[in-house]
Amino acid sequence: MAPENTLAAFARALDDGADGIELDVRLARDGVPVVIHDPSLKHTGPRKARVARLTSERLGQIDVGSWFNRRHRPLARFQYMRQTVPTLDDVFKLIANSSRQNTVSYIEMKTVRIKKSNLSLAAAVVEVIQRHNFRDRVIVISFNLPTVAAVKELDPSIRTGALFGPRQRATKSIRRIISSALECEADEILLHHLIAKRRTLALALEANLNPVVWTVEDPAWVARAQENRIHALMTNNPAKLLARVRV
């Protein structure tokens, strides 16, 4: 509905009535958490430069919205051409200035193969959360469970979540997935919709893990969420799912 991981997308989600947003963070060259999914600008920017080699200031000058207008012409908007890579600070400021004061943010840490770098990312994310006093408005998540555990160690009051997709399910049993989430002291377990089966959801609830399902586009998931006590659904089109909630 809007260019991914941009302030315009987050504003659109809140305007459409979403209870919160989900975003991806990486460290820029200057150690600042910036909001972007991929390790490079190849997908959303006009160049192939790697995020880790650019400062947050430089990333804040690069157009990451025009691609959306070209690819999705019926949804194109002039303001999307002005979207750049925001910092996590920028997103929190947007949320703080919103009339919606009960929204939450799921912050996915995009990790690398170097443990020290991942710990630096966790520390930087925690610092921004603490500085904005957003402890009760965020859930920090990742596929990299040691980095999730690092967030808890830095600040036990910050809620965290363990991410699992079909790849992890192919190598782990359902019970092992649940135990892995518990071992990193996660508060929530985030399951790809293909592995969010009834039994898995039930086991998560038994373990006192709030189950979250991503990324769903079929409004039928609203009824499934109610039936299976799913804590949250992540979607690219919140207005479409919310229309089913109101029925």
- Give the pLDDT score at 100: 86
**How large a percentage of the chain has pLDDT more than 70?**
99
Q: pLDDT by residue (tens digit) across 17-31?
A: 999 999 999 999 999
Q: Which of 191, 197, 201 is nearest to 234 (CA)?
A: 191
Residue 246 has pLDDT above 80, yes or no: no
DSSP symbols for 177-245? HHHHHHHTT-SEEEEETTT--HHHHHHHHHTT-EEEEE----THHHHHHHHHT-SEE--S-HHHHHHHH
Q: If you average pLDDT over residues 151-165, what whole number do you get? A: 98
Distance, in Å, from the CA atom of 241 to the CA atom of 232, rounded to the nearest integer, reads: 12
Mean pLDDT check: name the lowest of 32-41, 74-83, 164-173, 200-209: 164-173
- Give the pLDDT score at 101: 84
Residue 60 has pLDDT above 70, yes or no: yes
| Strand 188-192 relative to strand 210-214, pairing | parallel
- Average pLDDT for the chain: 96
Query: Against a cut of 0.85, is the pTM above it?
Result: yes
Q: pLDDT by residue (tens digit) across 160-204?
A: 999 999 998 888 899 999 999 999 999 999 999 999 999 999 999
The structure tokens 């691609």 sit at 67
Q: If you average pLDDT over residues 70-92, what whole number do you get? A: 97
Q: If you average pLDDT over residues 225-231, what whole number do you get? A: 97
Identify whether the C-beta of residue 150 lies closer than 8 Å to the C-beta of residue 109: no
What ranges do the domains of the chain cover? 1-18+37-98
**How large a percentage of the chain has pLDDT more than 90?**
93
Q: If you average pLDDT over residues 147-156, what whole number do you get? A: 98
- Give the pLDDT score at 245: 86
Q: If you average pLDDT over residues 135-140, what whole number do you get? A: 97
